[in-house]
Every structure is written in C-alpha cells, then in structure tokens.
Structure 1
Amino acid sequence: MVTTTQPAARRAVRRAVVVGTGAIAHSHVRALRALGDRVEVVAAVDVDADRAAAFAAEWSVPRTATTLTEVLADGPVDLVHVCTPPSSHVALSEEALAVGATVVVEKPVALSLAETDRLLDAERASSGSVAVVSQHRFGSGVQRLRALVQDGSLGRPLVTTCLTQWYRADAYFQVPWRGTFALEGGGTTMGHGIHQMDVLLAVLGPWEEVSAMAARGSRPTQTEEVSVATVRFADGSLASVVNSAVSVRETTVMRFDLEFATVELTHLYGYGDDDFRVTAAPGHEAAVEAAWAREPQGVPSSHRAQFLDVLDALDGGGVPPVPLAAARDTLELVAAVYESAFTGKAVRRGQIDADDPFWTAMDGTGAVWR
C-alpha cells in the first residue's frame, strides 16, 4: 500500500493597517512582527502626517496616510488595528467594518454602553468583526486558572481581591484627551482598572451587583483618581475591586480564594507563569498541585498572545477573541461602578438600559465632585 502525505494548507498572509501611531501602536506592530510572515503591516495612519512618517520609517511600513479612508480605498485590508484615543474608536471601527475588515481595537472599546451598542449594530451588518484588546486574558496562567475554575478543580470561588494600584503624575494628564469623561470616558477605573476587571469576569463569569465609591482631589483631572467597589457574582462569590492612579508603589494584584486553594497573581503591566503563587487548602495539596501543573504553560500575557489567537481564528473561519459582546460585559461593569459611585445606590447587571443616563455617558447624572 502506498501512502502519501498531503501538504499543509497554506495560511493567508493578512494585510494589516495600524491607525494611530502613539505609544501603544508600537506594541501592536512589535507583536505583529513577532508572528512572522502571517501578517504584513501595509499602512500607518495618523492625523499627524509627520508622526505617521516617523512611525513608518521606524517599522518599515510602506504606506502612510492621515485618514483610514485613504488606505481603505487602496484595496482589501484584513485587519485594522485601532490605537487612537478612546473617543475615536467607534467611528474608525465602523469604517473598517463597512469594508468587511476585522477590527482589533484597544480598550476601552467605546466611551459608553450606547456607543458600544451602536458598534454591535455595525458589526451585525458586516462580514467583519471586532476583537477588543484584552491581553491579560491570554497569558497561560490566567488561561489555566479560568479552566480550573470552570471545571471545579479548585472548588467554588469564595472571595476575590482585584487591585490596580498605579501612579500617574500631574504631567500624565496634560495630554488633551486624558482626564475627561467626554474624551477618555473616565479615569483610572475606565483607563487602568478595566484590564484587571476584564480578567475578573473572564475567570469568575457573570457579575450580578456592584456597590462603589469614587474620589478625586490631588490630580488635575475631571475624572476619578480612585474607585473602590464590591462586586457580587452570579455564583454568589464576592470581589473587592480597587482602582488607583495615586499609589506611589505601583502594583497589580489579583487574589482568588477558592474552596481548595488560594491563587495569587502579582505583577505590574504584564505577567508570566512565575508571577503566580498557589496555596492549597489542607488535605488538597496533591490535587491542587496536579491541577496547576496542567497545560497551558509558558505564555506571558501580551498583545502577541492575543494577536496569535486572532490570526488562528481568522484562518479557521471563527470569530477572533475577545469579541465585542464579551467586551461589553466588562464595560457594563465599569459603567455600574460609576453609577453606583455617583448615585450612592447598588447597581444590578442589566439595569443600565437606554433610559438610564449612565448608558450614554460614564458620568451619567454627573460626578459627585461637580
């Protein structure tokens, strides 16, 4: 009998455009270049032509433009990476969806739930889709923890601590779009803590109710510098969430206390497997050790890890992660933190609808310090 080996299917080389050439755009291109010949960055777009040119020269990008419209008119584009300030995310994403491109957009995806729902409508009408950058979901440690929580290997979640304690000096807020609800959508909750709150939901699943407070006072900003929230999840577990832009010793800490183990993750802006500490409950040491030794292993949180999954999804005909609907769940929690902080009332999941002022703006009826 003669056997033959079929050649592997050739993967398409994806054509990518980067819109916005500030600091985060460099992270995007660096991550894309690390994926080899699976993707080609064909253009860089920025309203500042000189900045676009400098970016293109640094990364050997062949085309620059001051509008996405110019580049889309050149021919087919597979991926549009939106790296602009938050207030422009939705309009740029809609433009890319209109030609059937896949959008990879930085957090926050929109300034409000209303804008997010508008973008969901555009996505439904398009052959393309929206993937929201949520790089901390894609490290092997969080992926493994999520799987172990879902299959019950570590027991029921009981209480979780989620701390985003960062430091931003006055100069940080001199960038015109920062520190305003109108252009940034919020303060440290929306811009910083949203990353860890996203991991919280990825691991623990749906939230049910939140009570929160927020404060401002030492930075030149219209938004909060600190927020503190208590979140109840659908499984009955509780989480304490702290977001800060005034913590001189910066740290990012997530601690999951489950029936059979405590899992702690301590890092700053990105983590690896070594940043996790697992403590088993008495009598569960062997089972917990065996569970934590499972795959995946060895993948740090990064844009590269998410972009690899995006390309794999496109090649397989699937929806790239993290889909817009999932990102909306995280944004709804952020909106609920603001509503609770500014109204003094607990907010339930699903409560913020089109009749609620916090659906159209994160400061809703107005920040308490106005």
Structure 2
Amino acid sequence: MRTFVIGLGRAGAGLHIPILTRIREGGGPILVFDPAVESGDLPPGVVSVPSIERAARSLDPAGAVTHLCTPPGSRSALLDELATAGFRRFVLEKPIATNDRELRRIVRLRARNGLRFAVVAPWLAAALTGKLARIVRDGTLGALRAITVHQHKPRFHRSLTTSGHPTAFDVEIPHAIPVVLRLAGPAELTAAKWRTLSCEEGTIPRLGGASLTLEHHSGVRTELVSDLTSPIRERRMRLEFAEGTVTADYPVGEDDDHAQLTVTTGGPSEHRAFRDDALTAFFVGTYRRFGRPSTDTEHLDFALHCETVRLLSEAKSRCATIPVQSRAEPQYAR
C-alpha cells in the first residue's frame, strides 16, 4: 500500500516517517504534504507534493494509507476534502478530536464515505499493556480495585511555540484513557482539573498539567495525573488488586524503548524489563489490518477512541473557567 503523510511536525516528520521508511517494503515513495512547513531535506524514498490533488493523481487514493498528523481540533474539514479526493484509509494522531462537535462531524464523514480509521495508540499496541490485560483477565491477583496513572514530562518549549494541543488534556492523557477503559471497562468522569503553565517567557492557561478521576462501571476507580512542567519524565501505571499490586513503566523517550513491569504480592517483588517498541508495532499491525476487510475489532477500537474523546470533552467542560488565550493555530501540526 502507498503512504501519504499530511503534517510535517513532530508527529509526522519526527515519528511517523522514520518508522515508515524502516518498515515499508516497496510500494513506491512516501508522499508528504504540509503547506505550513518547508519540507527541507527529506530522507530517501520520501517525496513532497504541493497539494492533496497532486497526491491523488500520483497514487491510487482508495488503496493508499493517509497519515493525518495535524492538530486534532480541525480535522473534519480536511477529512472531507480527502474523502472527496477518493482517500479511504486513515491513520489519525490522537485524540481524534478535541470536542464532541468535531467528533460528531468525523463520525458522520466516516459513515457517509465508508472511511477506515486507525487512531495512533501505541499504549494499546504495547506488549506491556498486553501483559497487564492478561493479569487482569487471569485473576491471579484477585479483583482489580484501582488504577493510578502518572504521565509527566517538561513541555515548556513546545507549549510556548506551538498551538496544536490547546489543553493538557490533549497531550499525554489520551494515551492512557483507552488503556484503562480496556482494562477496567466503561467509566464515567467524576472529577477533573487543569493547571496553568508559567515560566519566564510567559504564561499559558490550561497547559501546565491536568488530572481526572474515572469511576468504572466495574467498581474500579482510576486517577490520571499529567504534569507538563515536571523536570522528570514518567509514564507509569499502577494497578491495585485485592491480593497485590502491579507497576507498569512505559518507555518515556526515543532513546530507550524498554518497558518495565513490577509485580508485588507481599513477598519479594518480581521485576522484568523488556523491549517494547509499541509505535512500530502499532504501524505494522495497522497496515496489516488495512490490507484485509474491516472487522468488528476495528469498529470496537474506533468506538473506544470516541469514548476517550467524550470523557476528555466532559473534563474540559468541567474545567472551563479560565479564559482561552488568543493564539493563532497553524493550519497543520508543527
């Protein structure tokens, strides 16, 4: 399958293209397009095109996979344009949308045009998540009672220089919500808050950090906390069971793709560290799925991400007491 990447920002140029150039075998060059960014030096096998129309003439749009690495707040218009040009298979950066209204537009476009979506969800594709799911399913530690998620990293520079993610709810937390929903089942939001990012260069409301609490229908309680001013990087999920605890540490950067799992049951803890290149696994699995007819699993995955947007949208509504700072949003991600 041919590949078309829209958006040459951090996601497109920094993550998608390097992995795609490594895992794709043949199929012609990767086409890329972003009117807001100079393409610069592209790696071998990657070709810039000046428009969506040119891309549609350069490949079979119905047989291509289009990676939408653009801001989540303005995707429906772009998807409409791409669907009109004949594109049908899409890899969407998380979250699908930043509010319910944009999500409804995307859902209608998907149904009307028969579009297929895969939302970038490396945590769902991670081997670490698979191990957590087996522990929950097997019941070896008893019933799951609570989940705590910490997603911390310093994000001053990107928050000050870009505007693709309007709140801290749109940065790290979308990685974790689909996972906790898969582990503990459907949930309702019971609490949410965000913090302002402050430094010598300026102050940005809603981008300093965010937290929310979920009450799952299964009785499990989940607390998610993301600090985007933390000097320390951390992506940790702690599961509390009736007869023990499990601590899962996801890789925190490109320089090391190892995950860690610690199981404690009262005696000495059992600790494992292992390679877990989840984003590569996600892309490989996505292209394999797109090479076959759509399945119920694909529809269930999309529904899971729609539920993630619903919970995040409700969290933002609860926190909407800080005036929105006027900042120009680029047409595409940077």
Aligned residue for 2:52?
Answer: 68
Aligned residue for 1:351?
Answer: none
Aligned residue for 2:263?
Answer: 278
Secondary structure of 2:215's counterpart equals: strand
Q: Is the 8 A contact 1:215 1:227 kept in 2?
A: yes
Q: Which amino acid aligns with 2:56?
A: L
Aligned residue for 1:195?
Answer: 175
1:249-273 Cα distance to aligned partner (Å, 9 max, x none):
2212110112233111124247866
- CA distance in 2 between counterparts of 1:305 and 1:40 reads 22
1:24-60 Cα distance to aligned partner (Å, 9 max, x none):
21311222233241755431101046x22x25x3243
Unaligned runs of 5+ in 1: 1-13, 179-183, 343-362
From the superposition, tell whether residues 40 and 188 of structure 1 become closer, same or farther in structure 2 (CA, over 3 Å).
farther
2:313 to 335, 344, 355: 335
2:159 to 144, 153, 173: 173
- CA distance in 1 between counterparts of 2:68 and 2:206 reads 24
Unaligned runs of 5+ in 2: 326-334
Q: Which has the larger radius of gyration?
A: 1
From the superposition, tell whether residues 87 and 70 of structure 1 become closer, same or farther in structure 2 (CA, over 3 Å).
farther
Count of aligned pairs between the two proteins: 314
Residue 323 of structure 1: how far off its partner (Å):
3.9
Secondary structure of 2:175's counterpart equals: helix
Aligned residue for 2:211?
Answer: 228
Aligned residue for 1:45?
Answer: 33
Q: Is the 8 A contact 2:90 2:118 kept in 1?
A: yes
Q: Does 1:163 align with 2:150?
A: yes
- CA distance in 1 between counterparts of 2:138 and 2:82 reads 38
- CA distance in 2 between counterparts of 1:209 and 1:87 reads 22
Aligned residue for 1:81?
Answer: 67
Show the 5 A alignment for 1:137-152: 137-152=124-139
From the superposition, tell whether residues 207 and 59 of structure 1 become closer, same or farther in structure 2 (CA, over 3 Å).
farther
1:314 to 290, 296, 305: 290
Q: Does 1:94 align with 2:49?
A: no
Q: Point out which structure has higher relative CO (alpha carbons under 8 A, 6+ apart).
A: 2
TM-score, normalized by length of structure 2? 0.82
- CA distance in 1 between counterparts of 2:134 and 2:76 reads 32
Q: Which has the higher strand share?
A: 2
Secondary structure of 2:176's counterpart equals: helix
1:45-100 Cα distance to aligned partner (Å, 9 max, x none):
01046x22x25x324324x2233233124341320001123334332233334424
- CA distance in 2 between counterparts of 1:114 and 1:224 reads 22
Residue 314 of structure 1: how far off its partner (Å):
2.0
Aligned residue for 1:304?
Answer: 280
1:241 to 220, 224, 227: 224
Residue 193 of structure 1: how far off its partner (Å):
2.0
Aligned residue for 1:6?
Answer: none
Q: Which amino acid aligns with 1:237?
A: V
Secondary structure of 1:257's counterpart equals: strand
Secondary structure of 2:53's counterpart equals: helix
From the superposition, tell whether residues 217 and 83 of structure 1 become closer, same or farther in structure 2 (CA, over 3 Å).
closer
CA RMSD of aligned residues (A): 3.0
Identity %: 19
Aligned residue for 1:214?
Answer: 194
